[in-house]
Amino acid sequence: MAKENDWTKPAAMAIPKEGYFTLEKGRYGPIFPRTPACYGFSVMAKIKPGTEEKIRAYGKTIEKAIAEVPDALAVLELHYLRWILFNIGKDTYFMYQGIFDTDFDKYTEDAVALFTKLGINTVFENLEGFPMDWKTNAPAFVKFVREHQVPSFLEYAEYPYVSAGEIKKALKLKASFSEMLDVMQ
Amino acid sequence: MLEFDDIQYFLISRPRALAARYEFLTFRQPAGGRAWLMGIIEKVPSAKGVGGASDLASRWVTVAFTWNGLRALGVNETSLATFPEEFRQGMAARAEILGTTGANHPDHWVGGLAGPDLHAIVVLFARDVAERERCAREHKEYLSQCTGVEVLSSLDLEGIPPFDYAHEHFGYRDRLSQPVIEGTGDVPTPGSGAPIKPGEFFLGYPDETSLQPALPQPEILSRNGSYLAYFRLEEHVGRFRDFLQQHGKTPEEQELVAAKLMGRWRSGAPLVLAPKKDDPELGKDMQRNNDFNYRTMDPQGYACPVGSHIRRMNPRDTAQNMQRRKMIRRGGTYGPPLPEGAPEDGVERGIAAFIGCASLVRQFEFAMNVWANDPNFKELENERDPIFGTQDGTYDMTIPKRPIRMKFKGLPAFTTVRGGAYFFLPGLKALRYLATLAKDA
C-alpha cells in the first residue's frame, strides 16, 4: 500500500522474464505489476517497408492535437510517451513506450476509443501483422498489442510510486503556497 | 430498425410481474434438449407487444443458454469457436477477473451454476405468486415428458412489499438509472444520457462506434441475440443494519450512513441533489431523481462519496466512454424480507439479476473488474464498492468531508455472490434454428 511506497526513497525493481511475479488474470491477459516507475508498456513491432516517413509524420500530428486540446490524452493518466523508430539489420521497428498510472488491461477500450478519436490508431496500420479490421474486431486489436508488448526486466524511480495526479497536486499546492506568501508580503 | 418480432422481450420491456422463477437446466442428450426447446418456443414472446397497455398476458418466458449449453444442443465446434472467449470460458472461470474471490468464489456457489453441466436457464416472470406456481407445475409436467432434460436447481423470486415501488432488501429504491435503447421510442429521464445504439445490447446492429462488430457464426444463431451475466447476490440485512447502528447514533444519522454507502438515500433521492437531508418526494420523482452530474456539481465527493455504490457503478461525467459501458439490468428479489428490528435469521435473501449487453468483456467485466472491485479506483487506494464489491473486512471507505475526511475502516461484506453464469439470449429465429439442428450437426 501507499505507506510502504515511500517516495523519498529511490527504488529499483527487477522483474521476471514473464513481466510479472505472480500470474494475475486481467480481462485481456496477465496483469503487469505496478513498479516504482508506475505502470507502463513497451510495444515493439516491425513496420511495413516504406512506411517510415508516414509514421514519422504522426509525430507532428500528435504534437498539433495536444497543442490544440492539451487534455486530449488525460484519460490515459500518462506520465510520458516515447515513440521511437530503430533499425535491426534492414528492418525498421517502431517502439511505443508509455509510462502511466493505470493498469492498461483495465482501460484498454478507453485507450482504443481515444486513439480512434485522435487518429492515432491508424499509425498501427503501418505495422506488420496489425489486423486491418481492427475497427470492428476489438479482440484482434487487443491481441496484437498484447503480443507485441515486451515487459521490462528492470524499472527504477527516483521518486517511486508517485502518480501524475499526485505530482500535479503537489505542484499546485506549491504554487498556491508561493502565491500566499507573496500576498502576505 | 430493431427487429422487435425476433428479439426476445426480456431486455426491451418490463412487464408488471410480482413473482418469478428461474430454472437452471442441463441437457443429458442433444436430441432431448432440442425437443424440449421446440416445445417451449411458442411460449417465448418477442419484444413486440410485451409490457404495453395491451399486454394482457399473465406470464412471460425467457430462454437462454451457456456456451456449454449451445454445444449440448449440437452446435458444431467451428461455430462454437466464433463466440467471444469470455463467453466460452464462462463466468466461473473468470472469477479472478471479476473479483469474485474469497467467500464470493465459484467454489462456494450453489445450485450447480459453476459447473459445466449448466446448459440453459428458463426465466419465468408472472403477474403473481399463484400464476408462478401454476406455470412451475406446468413446466415440471412438460419436463417429465422430455428425455434427458433435468433441472439442476431453481430459484423463486417475489417482490418486497410495499409493491408500489421497486426496492431491495436493504430498503433502497431500485431501477432509477436505466439506459434507453435507441429505436425503442422510450425517452431517457433527465440526466440519464442520450439513447444508446442498439448494437450495445443486441448483436447485428451498429454500436456506439457506428460500426457493426463481427457476429458469431452462423448469423442466424447470433443475430438479435444478447449476452446475459447472471448473479445471485445474497444480502446480509442484519449485518447491514448493525453497521448503520454502529456508525449512526440517531435514526437520521443511520440514514445518512446508508445514503453515503449507496450515494442515494434509501428513498432514492440522490446525495448530489439532497446532500444533508432525505427528500422522499425527490426520490420518487423520475423527472428529477437522476438529473445530476459529478464533475461540476460534486467534484470532491462531499455530497456523494467517490467510492459510493452509484458513483462507482455509473461515474457519469467523471469517466470516459460511458455510452459504451451501459448495461440493461433485469431480475428481482428473493427470500423473505427481514422485518425491521428483527435480528439476522440466517435465511438467505437477496437479488438475483441479469446484466444484458453485447460484450461481456467490455461492458459487464469492465464494471466488475474496475468499478466494483479495483481497490485503486479513482486513486482511492484501498476501497471496493461498499455494497457490491468483494469485501472481507480489509477494505475501507472514505467519506470526503470538510474540514477533514472520515473513513469507515474494514468494511464488512454486506453481500455475497452465491452463484453466477454467462448466458446467450438468442432471438426467436435462433431458438428455432437451435431446436431444429440436424442430429449429426
pLDDT at position B439, please? 58
Contact A136 B212 (CB under 8 A): yes
**Beta carbon pairs, A and B, within 8 Å:** 50
Q: Testing the interface with B: which of A101, A118, A132, A136 to mutate, by most B Cβ within 10 A?
A: A136
Burial class (CB in 10 A: 0-12, 13-18, 19+), A164: middle
Task: Please check the confidence at residue A2 and state whether its pLDDT lies above 50.
Answer: no
Residue B197, CB-side half-sphere exposure with 13 Å CA sphere: 18
* Residues of chain A neighbouring B370 (CB-CB closer than 8 A): 106-107
What Å distances lie between residue B200 and B164, B179, B310, CA to CA?
31, 11, 21
Contact A136 B211 (CB under 8 A): yes
Q: Testing the interface with A: which of B94, B366, B368, B373 to mutate, by most A Cβ within 10 A?
A: B366
Query: What are the residues of chain B with a beta carbon less than 8 Å away from any beta carbon of chain A?
Result: 84-86, 96-97, 209, 211-214, 320-321, 324, 359, 361-362, 365-366, 369-370, 374, 379, 381-382
Contact B321 A133 (CB under 8 A): no
d(CA B282, CA B288): 6
CA distance B97 to chain A (A): 5
Hey, what amino acid is at B392? D
What is the chain B residue with the closest CA to A75?
A: B320
Burial class (CB in 10 A: 0-12, 13-18, 19+), A140: middle
d(CA B184, CA B192): 16
* Residues of chain A neighbouring B369 (CB-CB closer than 8 A): 26-27, 106
CA distance B313 to chain A (A): 15
d(CA B238, CA B241): 5
Reported as a single tens digit per residue, the pLDDT across B329-382 is: 999 999 999 999 999 999 999 999 999 999 999 999 999 999 999 998 998 989
Reported as a single tens digit per residue, the pLDDT across B408-426 is: 999 999 999 999 999 999 9
Bridge partners of residue B398, in order along the sequence: B407
Contact A163 B379 (CB under 8 A): yes
Q: pLDDT class for A1, splitting at 50, 70, 90?
A: very low
What is the chain B residue with the closest CA to A23?
A: B96
CA distance A122 to chain B (A): 16
- Average pLDDT value over all residues in chain B: 96
Q: Testing the interface with A: which of B200, B360, B376 to mutate, by most A Cβ within 10 A?
A: B376
Task: Please check the confidence at residue B440 and state whether its pLDDT lies above 70.
Answer: no
Reported as a single tens digit per residue, the pLDDT across B110-148 is: 999 999 999 999 999 999 999 999 999 999 999 999 999
Q: pLDDT class for B441, splitting at 50, 70, 90?
A: very low
Contact A114 B361 (CB under 8 A): no
β-pairing, B397-399 vs B415-425, is unpaired
What Å distances lie between residue B158 and B170, B229, B409, CA to CA?
15, 20, 34
What residues have CB less than 8 Å from B114, skipping those under 6 apart? B92, B106, B107, B419
- Which of B97, B212, B321 is facing A26, going by the closest CB pair? B97
Helix, strand, or coil (residue B360): helix
- Higher-pLDDT residue of A21 and A109 is A21
Contact B214 A133 (CB under 8 A): yes
Share of residues in chain B with pLDDT > 90 (%): 94
* Residues of chain A neighbouring B87 (CB-CB closer than 8 A): none
| ipTM for the predicted complex | 0.87
* Residues of chain B neighbouring A2 (CB-CB closer than 8 A): 381
Q: Locate the domains of chain A by residue range.
A: 11-184
What Å distances lie between residue B236 and A135, B167, B312, CA to CA?
44, 15, 21
Q: Testing the interface with A: which of B210, B306, B361, B407 to mutate, by most A Cβ within 10 A?
A: B361
Average pLDDT over residues B140-158: 97
pLDDT at position B418, please? 98
8 A C-beta contact, residue B413 and residue B15: no
Contact A106 B370 (CB under 8 A): yes
Bridge partners of residue A95, in order along the sequence: A44, A84
Please state the length of chain B: 441
Map grid coordinates 441533489 to a residue.
B273
CATH no. for A11-184? 3.30.70.1090
pLDDT at position A119, please? 77
What residues have CB less than 8 Å from B2, skipping those under 6 apart? B12, B47, B181, B183, B184, B198, B202, B205
pLDDT at position A144, please? 93
Contact B214 A1 (CB under 8 A): no
β-pairing, A39-46 vs A91-100, is antiparallel
Average pLDDT over residues A129-145: 87
Q: pLDDT class for A4, splitting at 50, 70, 90?
A: low
* Residues of chain B neighbouring A24 (CB-CB closer than 8 A): 96
Task: Please check the confidence at residue A30 and state whether its pLDDT lies above 70.
Answer: yes
Q: Name the pTM for this structure.
A: 0.94
What is the chain A residue with the closest CA to B380?
A: A2
Task: Please check the confidence at residue A169 and state whether its pLDDT lies above 80.
Answer: yes
CA distance B380 to chain A (A): 11
Q: Testing the interface with A: which of B88, B210, B321, B364 to mutate, by most A Cβ within 10 A?
A: B321
